[in-house]
Amino acid sequence: MFRLIWNIFQRIRAAYEIRKYTPNTIAEYFRQQGAQVGERCYIVPRSLGMEPYLVKIGNHVAIARGVLFNTHDGGPWLFRDEVPDMQVFGPIVIEDNCVIGANAILFANVRIGPNSIVGAGSIVINDVPPNTIVMGVPARPFGSVEKYKEKCLERWNTQRPPDMVLEPGETWWNSRHFEQNRRKLRRHLTQLFKDQLG
């Protein structure tokens, strides 16, 4: 009975502990669990899986909500009658300057190359080459990041509000005028897409 109460207490304490972190600061929490996490990361998930010490995340990596890290293989369950203690593990490495889309699933023994994007809902079972966008189940190369950048710049040149204010050195997210810019963006995009939105 004492063990059960102690386990419940530990879970409550862990849930309370993690609440004090934001996506910009949770890297410190994961480092305490043994994960290697670089600088300037934005990580929404509250868990790096059962073996966080097998996860390595580079610098300037964004990981969206719902991403799962599977550092162990559940398949050996089939062989437990023969080898009762069998377990199979592998690392997950995300190199610098990557984006992992919402609800992606990353499996053991994968490396996501630098400057790559994993599309939302993708299941990654193989390495992702550098400068590549992968999507799908299983994730497959979809295109280059360079071509994607060109498309994004073309779209942003149309979608950027003409009266948006950014001071030198500011980004969209750290601008002193963030709320004002958001209102301008909403007004501009609503007008731009009014035919499609009906």
The CATH number linked to 87 is: 2.160.10.10
* 3-class SS of residue 46: coil
> Which residue range forms the structural domain that includes residue 197?
160-198
Same domain, residue pair 106 and 189: no
* 3-class SS of residue 27: helix
* Range in 104-108, 135-139, 190-194 the model is least confident about: 190-194
Same domain, residue pair 117 and 168: no
Angle 74-76-79 (CA atoms, 0-180°, nearest 5)? Answer: 145
Same domain, residue pair 166 and 139: no
* 3-class SS of residue 128: strand
* Token pair for 123: 């299941």
113 neighbors 97 (Cβ within 8 angstroms): no
What is the predicted pLDDT for the residue at 38? 98
Between 23 and 8, residue with greater pLDDT:
23
- How many domains does the chain divide into? 2
pLDDT classification of 171: cutoffs 50, 70, 90? confident
Same domain, residue pair 93 and 168: no
Helix or strand run (H / E) with residue 157 = helix 145-159
* Token pair for 151: 């498309």
pTM summary value: 0.86
pLDDT beyond 90 at 53? yes
What average pLDDT score do residues 67-73 get? Answer: 96
Same domain, residue pair 164 and 136: no
* Residue whose C-alpha is closest to residue 21's, from 8, 11, 34, 32: 32
Same domain, residue pair 135 and 193: no
* Token pair for 155: 């779209």
Between 5 and 154, residue with greater pLDDT:
154
Which among 114-118, 145-149, 153-157 has the top mean pLDDT?
114-118
Same domain, residue pair 126 and 44: yes
What is the predicted pLDDT for the residue at 173? 76
Same domain, residue pair 88 and 35: yes
72: number of Cβ within 10 Å: 16
